Amino acid sequence: MLDINLIRNDPEKVRENIRKKFQDAKLPMVDEVIALDREFREAIQQGDALRNKRKTISKEIGGLMGKGLKEEAEKLKAEVAAMADELAALETKEEELKGEIRKRMLVIPNIIDDSVPIGKDDSENVEIERFGEPVVPEWEIPYHVDIMERLAGIDLDAARKTSGNGFYYLMGDVARLHSAILSYARDFMIDRGFTYVVPPFMIHGNVVTGVMSFAEMENMMYKIEGEDLYLIGTSEHSMIGKFIDTILDEDQLPQTLTSYSPCFRKEVGAHGIEERGVYRIHQFEKQEMIVICKPEESPMWFDRLWQNTVDFFRTLDIPVRTLECCSGDLADLKVKSLDVEAWSPRQKKYFEVGSCSNLGDAQARRLQIRVKGADGSKYLAHTLNNTCVAPPRMLIAFLENNLRADGTVAIPEALRMYMGGKDHIG
């Protein structure tokens, strides 16, 4: 959510940003906010004037009563009573206007960074760099579910009976590999100085609207019927929510946290749920990175976060590339975002396995996450998040890149201690 002062003082900058994101339907909202804000401030001024007048008259009433002029005092009391009704109406109007302004402010997109490429959708995202040599082996790479089934590692049919499409049973060495990857990711991030956290897996509605846009919320979140609770779509939601209504001293920054959680997603939209596969599903697990920092430090932390993901995948012998998200592909709260994509030897192309985002002060403004400076001044923090690893999607890249000609799967050195010392499965 933007600072209202930006819309007051530089509305054209806000409009131009909306155009860059190809969301022209939202342009009228800028003028609507300006008009509503003007009316809101006028209502506040009228209310303040009434309160001051009431205070002055109340003093006069006291003076008249002291002089025994009861009739004159009663007339002024009636005037004060009328003011109370008018003031109550103004206060109601203020709350209604504040709600209308906030409703629009929550939809107007955050100002994107100047470095973000301009484009309509993900087809116009820009490749930045490749890490590792993408290889297509001489032998055929089967579909990832076929690899897992040959290893007796997945049962989709049973999951359909219990839960429907978008769920799975992982078993045996594949299930162990899944857990090993998460354990390794946990330790990898701890070794990089991040504090390990297991957060709540359900959050209140005010936290949901604090960390994401309405469109994301509608397409992603599962709500618990009859309760003000939502299942998290990623641990970023509860991790950023941890700091709601918090004032952090500057010496408490940066907060560098790495969190494990299951993730639950409706996956409503163009992509849909796979009937046979684990690429797009309703439930998965993830190791996440969260940073809360000073505004001037967020670009540096953005680069550190995505580099952590690249380094993690390279220790597992998986080639990756980084992709800068264009303006039209950015969620409304994001200032800048970069995807990490892993190489698929079967498809002979890269696919997304992680996303790194700088949200500026958007989440902090919604959740009131503030920092107290050394001089006593208060300002909004910046928040960032990034995926370290999210199996079972990551299992697709792992199995394809480590599959050998005989059908066995090599276990890189980094994972062997989590796999009971095994150097392969099969």
In order, the DSSP letters of 18-87 are: HHHTT-GGGHHHHHHHHHHHHHHHHHHHHHHHHHHHHHHHHHHHHHHHHTT-HHHHHHHHHHHHHHHHHH
- Crossing angle of helices 27-66/11-20, nearest 10°? 150
The tokens of 415 are what?
């994972």
Check whether domain 122-425 has CATH 3.30.950.10, yes or no:
no
Q: Do the strands 222-223 and 202-203 form a parallel or antiparallel pair, or are they unpaired?
A: unpaired
Which pLDDT belongs to residue 100? 95
The model's pTM is 0.89
* C-beta of residue 191 within 8 angstroms of C-beta of residue 414: no
Q: Do 337 and 355 touch, CB atoms closer than 8 A? A: yes
Q: For 260-275, how does the pLDDT look when each residue is reduced to its tens digit (9 = 90+)? A: 999 999 975 555 566 6
Say if residues 318 and 109 touch (Cβ distance below 8 Å).
Answer: no
Residue 321's φ and ψ, nearest 5 degrees, are -140, 160
- Given a cut of 50, the residues of the chain with pLDDT beneath it are none
**What is the rounded distance in angstroms from the CA atom of residue 43 to the CA atom of residue 101?**
14
Amino acid 149 reads E
Q: How far is residue 273's CA from residue 215's CA, in Å, rounded to a whole number?
A: 18
User: Token pair for residue 390?
Assistant: 């999210």
Contacts of 307 (CB under 8 A, 6+ apart): none
Closest CA to 29 of 109, 104, 112: 104
Tokens at 381, concatenated: 């923090």
What are the b/e assignments for 116-134, b being 16+ CB within 10 Å? Answer: beebeeeeebeeeeebbeb
CA–CA gap between residue 310 and residue 374 (Å, rounded):
36
pLDDT at 85: 79
pLDDT of residue 268: 59
Beta strands 195-197 and 255-264: pairing type? parallel
Count Cβ atoms below 10 Å from residue 373 Cβ, excluding itself.
11
| CATH node for 4-105 | 1.10.287.40
The reported pLDDT for the residue numbered 47 is: 86
pLDDT (0 to 100) of residue 279: 85
pLDDT at 1: 83
What are the domain boundaries of the chain?
4-105, 122-425
